[in-house]
């Protein structure tokens, strides 16, 4: 079966599971009564420390119990290839008020560690050299004079989370203003490099279950750089994306922006800035609502015959990101 045919089959299955939703209430998301597809579901929120391997959980030594172990929180996702899964993501994940970034250029309220606990599985991170020490990598949004956090600190939080949650798969997309070797040094220092996944060019993506079994659960991509090392992928060789940064919700588009639609992965940028082109929590409240977010995701999916693998938003805690992603995954 060709890649497009396979995608078409997946689209048909997912669309069948995702009728036009009624707007869920905040109580729905917290109580776990229904998701945007109208499917009974558990509470939307953090993936807890019980990954199915605790003494009271399933016994992974039996094939029946092993089939019940979750992958990114859902056993149903274990047999699904990485490029056929929809993941919830954050734009400028590091640029959070909780991390000390000023309100005028913060894209998130909560920091990286809390985002991971809450269920975020794709992180867009900007990295720059430290003006005072070019050998040090900082996470900044625009000028590092506004605010910054050491890249080592953010990467350590990601590594600690993955070690503590061995059945989770995570993707980082770097806007990289530093040499790949500098990133690699931080990965070596934190131990993150031991968790990275290498996607051989032209090869099909493994399932989430296979990535978890191999303990290769961190997909690393960069907008400018690429291999070597082999686990740093040039993102526009693997993915394409939609335009980003409109100032009106009606200007959100499914048009091709960067990369090629022949690639395997689809990034849907979904945030609306202010008229001064600054982040807006108020706009996030509007466009992250299920009625807007899911409708656009389904329209982009129809247009490209491919699910948006990375659904990336500002102020993810506002709106219905996780419930919409579950619905797009047919859960």
Count of domains forming the chain: 1
Question: If pLDDT is split at 50, 70 and 90, which confidence band does 187 have?
Answer: very high
DSSP string of 264-325, one letter each residue: SEEEEEE----TTS---HHHHHHHTSHHHHHHHHHHHHHHHTS--SEEEESSTTSS-HHHHH
Q: What is residue 2's predicted lDDT score, i.e. its pLDDT?
A: 41
> How far apart are alpha carbons 137 and 144 in whole angstroms?
11
Q: Mean pLDDT over residues 185-209, rounded?
A: 97
Residue 89, both tokens = 């993501």
- The rounded mean pLDDT for the chain is 86
Ramachandran area for residue 87 (φ above 0: left; ψ -120 to 50: alpha; else beta): beta
Residue 282, both tokens = 């108020």
pTM of the entire predicted model: 0.81
Smallest Cα–Cα separation from 265: which of 173, 328, 196? Answer: 173
Of 243 and 39, the structure prediction assigns the larger pLDDT to: 243
Question: If pLDDT is split at 50, 70 and 90, which confidence band does 67 have?
Answer: low
Residue 305, both tokens = 């015959």
In degrees, rounded to 5, the angle at the alpha carbon of residue 139 between the alpha carbons of residues 252 and 158 is 90
Residue 53 pLDDT more than 70? no
Residue 31 covered by a domain: yes
Q: What is residue 65's predicted lDDT score, i.e. its pLDDT?
A: 57
Q: Mean pLDDT over residues 114-135, rounded?
A: 97
CB 126 within 8 A of CB 94: yes
CB 14 within 8 A of CB 301: yes
Residue 60 covered by a domain: no
Q: What is residue 68's predicted lDDT score, i.e. its pLDDT?
A: 83
Residue 104 covered by a domain: yes
Per the structure, the complete domain to which residue 12 belongs is given by 3-43+74-328
CATH number at residue 125: 3.20.20.190
Task: Name the H helices within 143-247.
Answer: 151-164, 180-190, 208-213, 235-238
Residue 144 covered by a domain: yes
Q: What is residue 245's predicted lDDT score, i.e. its pLDDT?
A: 87
Residue 52 covered by a domain: no
- Count of C-beta atoms within a 10 Å radius of residue 269: 23
Residue 146 covered by a domain: yes
Q: What is the pLDDT of residues 71-94, one digit of tens each?
A: 999 999 999 999 999 999 999 999
Residue 12 covered by a domain: yes
State what percent of residues in the chain have pLDDT above 70. 80
For residue 131, the 8-state DSSP code is: T
Least confident range from 22-36, 150-164, 165-179: namely 22-36
Residue 20 covered by a domain: yes
Question: If pLDDT is split at 50, 70 and 90, which confidence band does 66 have?
Answer: low
Q: Mean pLDDT over residues 116-120, rounded?
A: 98
Residue 191 pLDDT more than 90? yes
* Backbone torsions φ then ψ of 13, nearest 5 degrees: -65, -45
């Amino acid at each position: 079966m060709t890649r497009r045919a396979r995608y078409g089959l997946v689209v048909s299955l997912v669309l069948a599971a995702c009728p036009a939703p009624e707007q869920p209430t905040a109580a729905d998301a917290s109580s776990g009564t229904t998701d945007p597809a109208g499917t009974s579901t558990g509470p939307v929120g953090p993936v807890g420390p019980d990954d199915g391997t605790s003494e009271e959980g399933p016994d992974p030594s039996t094939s029946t119990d092993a089939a019940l172990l979750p992958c990114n929180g859902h056993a149903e996702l274990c047999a699904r290839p990485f490029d056929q899964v929809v993941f919830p993501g954050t734009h400028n994940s590091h640029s959070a008020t909780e991390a000390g970034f000023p309100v005028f250029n913060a894209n998130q309220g909560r920091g990286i560690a809390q985002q991971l606990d809450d269920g975020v599985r794709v992180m867009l991170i900007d990295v720059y050299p430290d003006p005072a020490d070019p050998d040090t990598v900082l996470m900044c949004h625009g000028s590092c004079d506004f605010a910054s956090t050491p890249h080592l600190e953010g990467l350590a939080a990601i590594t600690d989370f993955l070690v503590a949650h061995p059945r989770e798969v995570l993707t980082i997309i770097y806007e990289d203003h530093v040499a790949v070797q500098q990133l690699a040094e931080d990965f070596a220092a934190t131990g993150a490099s031991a968790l990275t996944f290498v996607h051989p060019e032209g090869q099909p993506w493994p399932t989430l279950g296979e990535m978890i079994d191999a303990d290769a659960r961190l997909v690393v991509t960069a907008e400018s750089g690429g291999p070597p090392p082999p686990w740093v992928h040039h993102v526009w060789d693997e993915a394409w994306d939609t335009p980003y940064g409109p100032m009106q919700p009606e200007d959100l588009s499914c048009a091709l922006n960067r990369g090629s639609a022949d690639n395997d992965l689809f990034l849907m940028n979904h945030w609306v800035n202010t008229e001064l082109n600054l982040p807006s929590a108020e706009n996030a409240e509007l466009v992250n609502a299920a009625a807007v977010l899911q409708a656009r995701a389904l329209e982009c999916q129809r247009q490209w015959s491919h699910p948006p693998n990375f659904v990336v938003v500002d102020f993810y805690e506002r709106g219905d990101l996780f419930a919409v992603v579950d619905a797009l995954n047919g859960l």
